[in-house]
Amino acid sequence: MELLQHLQLEVELQLQCDGGAGLQELHITDLSRQVRETNYREKLSRLLAEIATCASLDPVEPASITLLHGSLLWQLPAFCNHGFLVDQRAIKIRNWALLTLKTSLIQNTDEIWNHVEVTNWISTSQSTVLFTIGNSQSLKRLETFSIEVINRMENYGPVIYLLNPLPNGFSESSAFSTIGVLRQLAIQCLQTLTTPKTLEFLAKMNRDFRSTMERDWYSLLAELIEFQQQMTIILEVGVLRNKFREADTWAAEFLTLIEWLQGKTCLKVMIITGRPINADDNSIVRRMTVGSVPTKSLSHTANQRLVRPAVRQRSPQNAVTGYRGPSLTSSILEGQEPPNAPNAVTEVAFSTKVVSSNRQHRKGPKTEELPHADNLPMHCIADSLQKNLGATQASESNSSKRATEQWFKVLESTTHQFMYKEVFQSQVAVKIAVLDTGFAYMNPEDKRALRPYYQRIKRFTNFIDGGSDAEAKSDPTGHGTAVAVQILRVSLRAVLYICRVVSPDSGPDKSAIEKAIRKAAAKPDKYIPDGGGWGVDIINMSFGWPYDHEGVRKAIDFARQKGVHMFAATSNDGLLGPPNDILYPARSVSVIAVDAADGHGDHAKSAPSSASAHSQGSRFSAPGLGISSPNSEEILEGSSFACPIVAGVTALILEFARQPPLSKSPSVQTYLQEWPAMLNC
């Protein structure tokens, strides 16, 4: 009777929800959205009547009352205690669409499928746990592999899973803990149940979903999994973000879960991670390592083009162009029914990609043929995104690289020749803070390739809690290195302050970003123990997330007051629409947003529309296709690399103004620190 009373209180509480704004993230449903967009309130009202009917019986027998709406069995617990539901199936479809539309050799998974540990994990009839451990070079392939595994295992029984990346709306403060992961898995378990759907069972779930103890959640999972003969769990450790160390306990806990289910359910668990994790091998828990893509798979000659616009032959334009492009959301999506799974076939940290391959299709151990991306049916994928999903531009890498290199050659033969004459040099270097993943200068190969650039780096600082400054000299992803190189190629006198604010798995660390902005913008002060700030002129931020962050916003305001010019990449998912088209901090009115274009000035198809609701501030574009870095053979694309080029051009403007006679004009120097200065140049 007590459980029934608590259930009644929860129903009455949820009925008080007015369906207001609530969460606005794509593929995340909270109580407000459920009430606003479905007949959930009607279901709750009927449930309340069922509870009243049961309470009037003598004796009270909730076990004998079948729910009028069986979906309440998972809906009510999902939203109790301020809970929410992440639509993982939609995320899976979204991730597959984006991975396929950004077709890349780096995503080939044949070698992973052929690994003996994967073969054993799939074929065994015993419960088992497999840790699939990759690195920064294999993350994209692991994302593809996780989706393929889910679709393969769904042929044999229910599969519950959490994939990384989560919906873009997840802020760092709402990143999952282990309990959050287990809660979402429990919701998915409830969605697979056909029985029992009784009032008594719902009342019990309403109680159990309030626990704050991890062991209680593992116990609940065991109870729910018992209803199935076989169950598969696929987890990507990246969903924990900066709490990734919590995954060190997963091996022991899932081993205990398997022991609880012994003789009842065959449970297969695969845990996928891009960084080392504590998991000792035994008869049940196994581990395998996935490295970089095998060399034999690489091809640098033939490339797919998912979008084939007419190429306009014209001379390279000015260094930076204002955004004048039309909306790109129309005419992209045409055609057929999409697959539900790969056999017909979810920072946002970075706006970047590696360009593509000549593989028309491939077959894995699944035996299904995965279609060439040109033949991917599209409009249902758009439905699953609840928005129009446009194909991300994947122009031919050699052509893009040639156009971008031509842009740099024109820059060198004109602007550089003018700026860096012996008699015409600035005496005060422009200082630029690069907030990113670091700068690769640890191994001999990187040192040889990057030595000329390294000489202009003034400081390496790691702003991530618990990290050392030496870590800022490493760059597992290569992202920060490529970004820094673009600045130094554009401005030959600027000096850099490398700020590590992004870790490979957890994305941009908001707290680290806030600290880095404040340190970079503050003026040096010898009377302060730490020497004050660095007094930089420019801050480059080639990352983003969909929603405002108060701490970062206040730091940006502080930097703007100090006269610092800030630039941020918009995104490469512009055609997904809000909130993914222009990310924060690029959407801040105090930050100049940068889109990717080719070397001729034509905007990338992945760039946000000029009509974007988030285009609040000023936007520029610069070459972001066919980008290279001296320490890598990869050809990169994205607004991440256009952004530092604009920052470099800004440095050129400041360098020019630091030549006499302009350097002797206080009014000119003051004006150049103001917001309109860069917009009117």
Catalytic residues: 436, 479, 640
How do beta strands 619-623 and 321-322 pair? antiparallel
Q: How far apart are CA 453 and CA 44, in angstroms?
A: 64
| CA atoms 221, 223, 227, 231: torsion sign | positive
633: CB partners within 8 A, 6+ apart: 300
Q: Where are the beta strands (DSSP E) in 251-302?
A: 266-273, 285-289
Which secondary structure element, helix H or strand E, spans residue 533, and what is its range? none
Locate tokens 């690399």: which residue?
Answer: 641
SS3 246: helix
Contacts of 672 (CB under 8 A, 6+ apart): 653, 654, 657
The tokens for 668 are 């000119």
Q: Are 402 and 635 in contact (CB under 8 A)?
A: no
Strand, coil or helix: 69: coil
15 exposed, middle or buried (CB, 10 Å; 0-12, 13-18, 19+)? middle
Give exposure, 315-327, as e/b (b: 16+ Cβ within 10 Å).
ebeebbbebebee
The span from the CA of 342 to the CA of 146, in Å, is 11
| DSSP letter for each residue of 346-413 | ---S---EE-------EE-TT-PEEPPGGG---HHHHHHHTSPPPPPP---HHHHHHHHHHHHHHHII
Tell me how far apart the alpha carbons of residues 72 and 78 are, in angstroms, rounded to a whole number: 9
Q: Which residues of 438-455 are buried (b: 16+ CB within 10 A; e: fewer)?
A: bbbbeeeebeebbeebbe
Helices (H), 154-302: 178-192, 199-208, 214-225, 250-260
Chain centre to alpha carbon of residue 457: 28
Structure-token pair, residue 550: 């108060």
